[in-house]
Amino acid sequence: MWKPEKPILVAGRVLPAAEAWWHEFRSAFYDRCHGAVDREWLDTLAAALYPLNLDRDPRRTAEVAFVTLGFELPRETQS
């Protein structure tokens, strides 16, 4: 499981590793899109990606997610 290099303090308490991952992911993703995402949508994205990336750096995961979401799935051509 990923752990921050330094403890992350929020409201005077140290976040456990899982909460720190979510905090770092959301912060990095929010920064990448300049705040142009809904908090609920971002929480849903984090929830979907966390189980697959809990051992990876959350900021790197946010970068990959941001780039990936910029692509559109190809549409099937109709015959």
pLDDT over 70 (residue 21): yes
Mean pLDDT, all residues of the chain: 92
Residue 72 confidence (pLDDT): 81
Overall average pLDDT of the 37-50 stretch: 95
45-65 pLDDT, tens digit each? 999 999 999 999 999 999 999
Rounded to the nearest 10 degrees, the angle between the axes of helix 17-32 and helix 39-53 is: 130
Residue 78 confidence (pLDDT): 54
- Measure the CA angle with vertex 4, ends 50 and 38; round to 5°: 45
Overall average pLDDT of the 31-50 stretch: 94
